A and B are shown apart, each in its own frame.
Chain A
Amino acid sequence: MSGIYVHVPFCKSKCTYCDFASYPREIGKAELYFACLYKEIKARAESLKDYVFDTVYFGGGTPSFIDEKYIVGALRQIKNCYTLSKNAEITIEINPGTLSPEKVNAYKKAGFNRFSIGLQSADDAMLRKLNRIHTKDDFLYATQLLKGENFSVDVMIGLENQTQKDVKETIDLAVLAGASHVSAYALKAEEGTPMFGKYLNGDLPSEDETAELYDFAKAYLEEKGFLRYEVSNFAKVGYESKHNLNYWNRGEYIGFGVSASSFIKERRFTNTEKIDEYTACILRGKVAEIFSEDIVGDEREFEYIMLNLRKDEGFFFKDFENRFNCSFTEKYADRIKMVKKYIDIDDQKIAIKPEYIYVQNTIIIYFMD
């Protein structure tokens, strides 16, 4: 498996928790940006000509905010330059306040077959506080337009003054609208965001309260037929996000656009976050990488363990052996012993016990040396 990621760094306005590369005031640079993006997509094609990509993901920012011609153009460029598998999963992130029938038609026609909708909350007051540009009604309208399509809904956990009732109503809204997949992300107040001030002021729920809400969300989603397959991701059977699973499986992916990360041939690299720097590099025919690291030796194994244990199903020893030419259970016997209380293990695979998935960092670091 391998994937393609495209970053769209534009949005109407910045949400209070957002620390992604997203610039509401830079929309004037969209034309130049996409020209460069197409160039970058093409520039990498030769070196990746042997790859067959199974997923494409347009994230942001708000990809659905900008004129659909750019999106359609970018996907066309990808299809021109790369080999996609027959049933490739092609996803675009949608803000419910930005959709129109024309946009939906254009996306579908271009080949998008999965939509990830940022709902976050079903409570309009809460949405306003987050500086989201949409309302609950916008969401209903958007999902109406996407009726019959495969879509996922993002839900936030740990918002200011959030109660179980809020979480339940948000999940109900998503489920009733026809979602096949729900991502339930715990809010993390990042330094430099307005949300961080709230965090410092103690306005946000404590870690325990957030964990409490999360436990509730997990139970409620399972009740509704959405099974957790990764820390924050829940899906009806067969609707797991292939693109995200590729990350957790330590699959390869190429990222285009500002701040996009890639992992190709045991090298991880990331583009600059700055639009101007990005366009300047690309126009000069250079790569826009600001970070690059070859993953060597046991680091590869650690990454594999760290990523795969995010999944409820963990990983199979056979897969580990195929990749690294050594036996996981032999090489890590002493570590396994140390964490045995927290894992499910049999002769084929290992996984973190469901009740410890949310505290897995503490478990995973036993496998780091």
Chain B
Amino acid sequence: MAVKVKENLRNFCIVAHIDHGKSTLADRIMEFTGQVAERDMEDQLLDSMDLERERGITIKLTPVRMAYTAKDGKEYIFNLIDTPGHVDFTYEVSRSLAACEGAILIVDATQGIEAQTLANCYLALDNDLEIVPVINKIDLASARPDETAKEIEDVIGLDGSDAPRVSAKNGINIDQVLEKIVELVPPPKGDDDAPLKALIFDSYYDNFKGVICFVRIMDGTISAGTKIKTFMGEKQFDVTEVGTFNPGLLPKKSLSAGEVGYVAASIKSIEDIAVGDTITTSINPALEPLPGYKKVQPVVFSGIYPLDGSKFNDLKEALLKLKLNDASLTFEPDNSAALGFGFRCGFLGLLHMEIIQERIEREFDIDIITTTPSVSYHVYKTDGEMLVVDNPSRFPDVSYIDYAEEPVITANIFTPPDYVGAIMELCQEKRGTFTDMTYLDANRVRLNYTLPLNEIIFDFFDGLKSRTRGYASFDYELAGYEKSSLVKLDMLLNGEICDALSLIVHKDKAYPRGRALAERLKDVIPRQLFEIPIQAAVGGKVIARETVKAMRKDVLAKCYGGDITRKRKLLEKQKEGKKKMRQLGSVEVPSEAFMSILKIDSDNK
């Protein structure tokens, strides 16, 4: 048995700040290698979900295999794994990095290095990847490639002078990128004859083939008929198919060390396979798993409930299926007095939460209600016990609380100097603590702040973008817990506390939040047959009140010449609208009310 270098293989990913052109460059590389005929190209091929294309973001990793004949005359096999750019998906980036030897780092020649350029680049360096810097968007008039090259040297410490200068959009200098991949990305090493070690870096459920695992083979060989098991699971499976990405699934006889591909083994239960686990053979297995992925911690929590209570099991099935290819999603059954049975879910961030929500509604056709997002608090009770509270309804009564802590983050904010004042003001409002400010050059400043996470999850990013006309960028890292004065803000509808609308807030924010939330609810709750008082309360004390007046008229004055059908259709429409509402005590509340709090701060600006 011997470790061999797979000279003709190159496994790499692309990292970049959002909008710097990852997906476009990936498309061009595929086009250039002839993987996809130009006329068949649909823009941004790798973003396979509708949602991804609509939002112009990549959520899921979709690898692709390409053949490239380099200028040295040899043919190389490229495995490209695209990565998401949004800060919520740092974990997904880290998964794909572990399957690669190199990373293309795209820097937008008009924007320079941004917060996520840096964050993703450090992530790649942490994984010992070779970095191939690429300067993109040179076709734009505002491009400043020389300065960008210098910035790559100054800020990241890589040699930027030699970096390909490309326009992914117009297909300029793509060949240089391919040559750099051959030159700089190290070929993978592995032993085809050693016991199998295959890293599962993603998976999804196929109705016909069962679970499809995306793997990187580190050692050994796998083919149809191989009996496999995983280190964390207990079951054994017979491999039914292996193959590579075309970017669709292309069956192959076998996959060997260094290769990236997929494995299907009629795995029917989506709980049997854990992303991050290592596949090995049942006979002559490897002794140890590969170093596992960084365990992902959800950061934002919210309740998801079926609008129609009888859909609870459908919702459960949907979440199980989503979890299969989204290991970062966590959920456990929950029960709300107002909303009945549902799930308390953990997400990587707000975008992640929105995406899961939309996927449940679109892909599984279940109408859901999502409650106000929360972070995870540490509450120390007077008896010394520490509670982890991510659900406001579990927040103990004030009299039992000794003190509480909330999660904080350290934020890196990149901005032109003009907006420093506006950003400081924003961070101040969000209870931030200034830690550092660095001038990177005459046009760029890096600000460092410590901020409470619960201020970030609402609308910090939108606020930052709107106050800096989109020029600032932002990235953060969790930085532990800090003591904080937290209270539970309750909302009462028609005199009854609605647990699904409660939230945990800093004492100083309780009054403005409560007032804004009451106003907001007044706008979204339609008038009903009786007057509805809306109250915000802290510890039983009402701090704000609004009223939804009783409806006065909803009837059609006349039936036009006996046109009863028209009237019935109108009522049917009204009934449809009613179905989108949730009955809370005596009050009908539209599902968007539960997300109202998110809109508050941006509205009040």
Which residues of A approach B to under 8 Å, CB–CB? 5, 7, 20, 59, 185-188, 207-208, 210-212, 214, 231-232, 247, 253, 255, 259-263, 268, 270, 291, 293, 299, 302-303, 306-307, 310, 341-342, 356-365, 368
Contact = CB atoms under 8 A, between A and B. Distances in A.
B552 A208 contact: yes
B561 A268 contact: no
Contact of A359 (B549, B555, B575): B555
12 contacts: A59-B561, A231-B557, A247-B559, A253-B562, A255-B561, A255-B562, A260-B561, A270-B563, A299-B568, A357-B555, A361-B554, A364-B571
B528 interface: yes
Given A263-B564, A364-B571, A368-B575, A186 B529 contact: no
B553 A358 contact: yes
Given A255-B561, A261-B561, A261-B563, A359 B571 contact: no
Interface in B557-576: 557-565, 567-568, 570-572, 574-575
B125 interface: no
Nearest to A357: B555
B1 interface: no
A188 B557 contact: yes
B556 interface: yes
B558 A185 contact: yes
Contacts of B572: 368
Contacts, number: 97
B109 to A, nearest CB: 48
Given A207-B553, A214-B553, A342 B529 contact: yes
B567 A362 contact: no
A270 B565 CA distance: 10
Contacts of A299: 568
Contact of B574 (A186, A270, A361): A361
A232 B529 contact: no
Contacts of B570: 361
Contact of A5 (B556, B558, B561, B565): B561
Contact of B551 (A214, A253, A362): A362
B565 A291 contact: yes
A270 B558 CA distance: 17
B578 interface: yes
Given A185-B557, A358-B554, 12 more contacts: A208-B553, A247-B562, A255-B562, A259-B561, A260-B561, A261-B563, A358-B553, A361-B554, A361-B570, A365-B575, A368-B572, A368-B575
A270 B559 CA distance: 14
B564 A247 contact: yes
Contacts of B557: 185-188, 231-232
Q: A187, A342, A362, A364: which has the most chain B beta carbons within 10 Å?
A: A362
A5 B571 CA distance: 25
Contact of B529 (A268, A307, A362): A362
A356 B529 contact: yes
B536 to A, nearest CB: 26
A303 B553 contact: no
A256 B549 CA distance: 44
B529 A5 contact: no
Interface string B189-233: 000000000000000000000000000000000000000000000
A263 B567 CA distance: 14
A186 B555 CA distance: 10
B553 A186 contact: yes
A247 B565 CA distance: 12
A268 B554 contact: no
Counting from the closest, the 10 A-B pairs by CB-CB distance are: A211-B552, A211-B553, A185-B557, A361-B554, A261-B562, A186-B557, A365-B575, A261-B563, A232-B557, A359-B554
Contacts of A185: 557-558
Contacts of B553: 186, 207-208, 210-211, 214, 358-359
Interface string B539-556: 000000000010111111
Contacts of B571: 306, 361, 364-365, 368
